[in-house]
């Protein structure tokens, strides 16, 4: 096991311990097949199309504006996480960290991107919170399902070896705030 002092001190020690548990110890079988799919952006295209169709068919003009505001939510959360924070912090992904080579399981292409925060976690939590809040009066079950969806994507990011738990947790927080802010504006101006 790598000595934690060899790793970037940006992260707390528990971050590496939890990363190892999720990536290397709580792994195998069905999860090795499922979790790389969950974090693949193309896997969710049918869901995105369903949500857009549902909004348009059931809510017309208000549904159109919900789609526009969902895109604004994504743009806001992605700008904050991927365009501002990642370049500012410049933290390597676990799969890019020399001190961890051979000790972690990398289940997807590592890519050249940076680690902190997870844009996948940020963006999906932002959309989950936005959609959950605009449907809040219609049924609270939607919010629970959407948050579980976002949580599963964040967990998958750790599992496949491209993000640390802190990256995902901060992404969830940024996403929740982004979704909350855009939903507040949407509900004030349009409301389903």
Q: Who's near 173: CB < 8 A, 6+ residues apart? A: none
Q: Using one digit for the tens of pLDDT, what is the confidence trace for 81-123?
A: 999 999 999 999 999 988 888 889 999 999 899 999 999 999 9
Residue 130 Cα distances to 45, 50, 59, 66, 94, angstroms: 18, 16, 16, 9, 30
Residue 3: the pLDDT is 45
Per-residue 3-state assignment (H helix, E strand, C coil) for 81-142: HHHHHHHHHCCCCHHHCHHHCCCCCCCCCCCCCCCCCCHHHHHHHHHHHHHHHHCHHHCCHH
What percent of the chain has pLDDT above 70?
Answer: 95
- The ranges assigned to domains in the chain are 29-189
């Amino acid at each position: 096991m790598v000595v934690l002092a060899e790793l970037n001190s940006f992260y707390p020690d528990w971050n590496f311990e939890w990363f190892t548990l999720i990536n290397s110890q709580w792994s195998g079988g069905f999860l090795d097949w499922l979790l790389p799919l969950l974090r693949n952006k193309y896997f969710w295209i049918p869901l995105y199309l369903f949500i857009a169709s549902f909004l348009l068919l059931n809510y017309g003009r208000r549904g159109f504006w919900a789609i526009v505001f969902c895109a604004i939510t994504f743009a806001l959360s992605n700008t904050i996480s991927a365009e501002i924070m990642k370049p500012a912090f410049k933290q390597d992904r676990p799969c890019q960290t020399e001190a961890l080579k051979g000790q972690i399981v990398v289940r997807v292409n590592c890519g050249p991107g940076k680690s902190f925060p997870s844009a996948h976690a940020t963006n999906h939590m932002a959309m989950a919170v936005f959609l959950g809040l605009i449907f809040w009066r219609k049924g609270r079950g939607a919010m629970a399902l959407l948050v579980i969806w976002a949580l599963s994507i964040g967990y998958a990011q750790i599992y496949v070896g491209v993000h640390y738990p802190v990256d995902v947790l901060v992404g969830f927080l940024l996403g929740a705030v982004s979704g909350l802010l855009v939903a507040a504006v949407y509900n004030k101006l349009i409301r389903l």
